[in-house]
């Protein structure tokens, strides 16, 4: 299970197993797994794919996994014959049970397990505009491994956690925020990141790592693995809404492993990545266009990342080049219409971000870059919050303090020790 070498993508050199960067250049690191062929295990959730996750053990309570199913409703609307949906969220009728309703749950569980296996038990530090922080809060509550979350004040309304429905919150694990320290940041996502960077370099703390974290990427890569095992082959096309593009890199890496496995075909999935205009740096870079001025009015602000991992070896650009990929720029009205189309035809609510991917699929069909008979995987990266509210009581996590400078955060954390 999960045995691997950690190699720089640029030169293949083997690096110490918990490194986040390469010594000679800006290359990403990648796990090179001992298991050439994947043998699914009878374990819950994504742990089924343990051969290709950078962990030795599992978190049995973290049972969330992507669900791949063949679309009927949306496929009919779009005139597609082989449209498959990978659904990350809460939709019990389909077997989708992601506790925080986005595919960030796929990243949080292996990251936490890997941190535990490191042995020195550091406190994980995460900066997030919402979905990532919610996923790490949940995994921290069920494992009791500590996290410090830096969240901009404006994103605090995304910081809910699900307790079982029906009155008294008797399940104490959800009420007790012991291992979770939520710190509100006056400012935006970038202010949260810069404060987190200072805190994570203090002794006893560890950075989550973002796109450089292989546990995060290989956790997200289970979307592609689940689809390939369901279909019996690598899907021809992969559609996803991206901010950083980390999920795109993950889908590419999973395709590479599946191709090397030999049983799933020899063609990599073509990446179709979608961004929300005008805050779309990956789109402008790929198209070689001059960026439009940034707007505060985004269809989903979780998709804005000012510094995506684009140009370095093993980054988004390499993933697009290697797979013959494409990037789409989607406007707010296009996204709103696509969201409505999806929800009406598939009968489940989705987050705003994945609607951007649905709109990109519509564009690709119109441009003829996908054909009606092609096998297409549409990654619905989050959804089912309305469905979740029917089954659970959502409880808000409250920040323990609000800071404007990193010194305030450090002294607050020292006072808590």
Judged by the rule CB under 6 A, the positions of this chain that interact with ligand PLP are 102, 104, 131, 241-248, 302-303, 351, 353-354, 381-382
The total of other beta-carbon atoms located within 10 Å of residue 368's CB is 7
Q: Which residue is nearest to ligand PLP (CB)?
A: 247
Complex with ligand PLP: residue 180 or 356, whichever CB lies closer: 356
Report the SS3 class of residue 28: coil
Q: How far is the CB of 1 from ligand PLP (least distance, A)?
A: 26
Are 4 and 33 in contact by the 8 Å Cβ rule? The answer is yes
Looking at residue 15, the DSSP 8-state letter turns out to be: E
Q: How far is the first Cα of the chain from the last one, in angstroms, to the nearest whole number?
A: 36
Kindly provide the b/e burial profile for residues 49-88, where b requires at least 16 CB atoms within 10 angstroms of the residue's own CB: bbbbbbbeebbeebbbbbbbbebebbbebbebebbbbbbb
Report the SS3 class of residue 139: helix
Q: How far is the CB of 37 from ligand PLP (least distance, A)?
A: 27
Q: How far is the CB of 334 from ligand PLP (least distance, A)?
A: 16
Are 269 and 236 in contact by the 8 Å Cβ rule? The answer is yes
Phi, psi (5° rounding) for residue 21? -145, 165
Quick one: tokens of 142? Answer: 């069920």
The total of other beta-carbon atoms located within 10 Å of residue 362's CB is 17
Q: How far is the CB of 205 from ligand PLP (least distance, A)?
A: 23
Are 320 and 269 in contact by the 8 Å Cβ rule? The answer is no
Complex with ligand PLP: residue 4 or 304, whichever CB lies closer: 304
Complex with ligand PLP: residue 99 or 354, whichever CB lies closer: 354
Q: How far is the CB of 35 from ligand PLP (least distance, A)?
A: 25
**How far is it, in rounded angstroms, from Cα 135 to Cα 189?**
17
Complex with ligand PLP: residue 115 or 135, whichever CB lies closer: 135
Q: How far is the CB of 252 from ligand PLP (least distance, A)?
A: 11
Q: How far is the CB of 240 from ligand PLP (least distance, A)?
A: 6
């Amino acid at each position: 299970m999960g045995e691997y070498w950690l190699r720089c993508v640029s030169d293949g050199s083997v690096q110490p197993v918990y490194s986040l960067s390469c010594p000679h250049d800006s290359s990403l690191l990648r796990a090179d797994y001992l298991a050439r062929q994947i043998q699914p295990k009878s374990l819950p959730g994504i742990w089924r794919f343990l051969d290709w996750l950078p962990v030795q053990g599992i978190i049995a309570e973290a049972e969330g996994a992507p669900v791949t199913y063949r679309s009927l409703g949306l496929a009919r609307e779009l005139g597609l014959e082989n449209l498959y949906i990978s659904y990350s969220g809460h939709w019990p009728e389909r077997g989708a049970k992601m506790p925080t309703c986005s595919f960030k749950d796929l990243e949080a569980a292996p990251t936490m397990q890997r941190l535990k296996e490191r042995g020195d038990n550091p406190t994980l530090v995460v900066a997030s505009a919402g979905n990532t922080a919610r996923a790490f809060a949940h995994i921290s509550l069920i494992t009791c491994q500590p996290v410090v979350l830096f969240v901009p004040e404006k994103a605090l309304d995304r910081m809910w956690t699900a307790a079982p429905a029906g009155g008294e919150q008797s399940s104490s694990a959800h009420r007790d925020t012991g291992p979770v320290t939520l710190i509100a940041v006056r400012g935006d996502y970038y202010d949260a990141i810069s404060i987190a960077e200072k805190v994570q370099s203090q002794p006893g703390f560890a950075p989550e790592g973002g796109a450089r974290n292989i546990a995060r990427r290989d956790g997200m890569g289970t979307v592609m693995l689940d689809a390939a095992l369901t279909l019996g082959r690598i899907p021809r096309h992969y559609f996803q809404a991206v901010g950083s593009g980390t999920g795109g890199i993950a889908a590419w890496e999973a395709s590479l492993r599946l191709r090397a496995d030999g049983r799933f075909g020899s063609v990599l999935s073509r990446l179709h990545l979608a961004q929300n205009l005008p805050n779309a740096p990956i789109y402008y870079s790929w198209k070689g266009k001059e960026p439009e001025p940034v707007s505060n009015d985004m269809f989903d602000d979780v998709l804005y990342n000012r510094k995506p991992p684009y140009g370095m070896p093993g980054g988004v650009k390499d993933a697009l080049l290697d797979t013959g990929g494409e990037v789409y720029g989607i406007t707010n009205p296009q996204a709103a219409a696509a969201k409505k189309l999806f929800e009406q035809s598939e009968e489940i609510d989705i987050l705003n971000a994945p609607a951007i991917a649905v709109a990109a699929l519509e564009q690709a069909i119109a441009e003829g870059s996908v054909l009606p008979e092609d096998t297409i995987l549409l990654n619905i990266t989050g959804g089912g919050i309305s469905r979740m509210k029917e089954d659970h009581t959502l409880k808000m996590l409250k920040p323990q303090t609000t800071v404007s400078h990193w010194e305030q955060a450090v002294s607050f954390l020292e006072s808590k020790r």
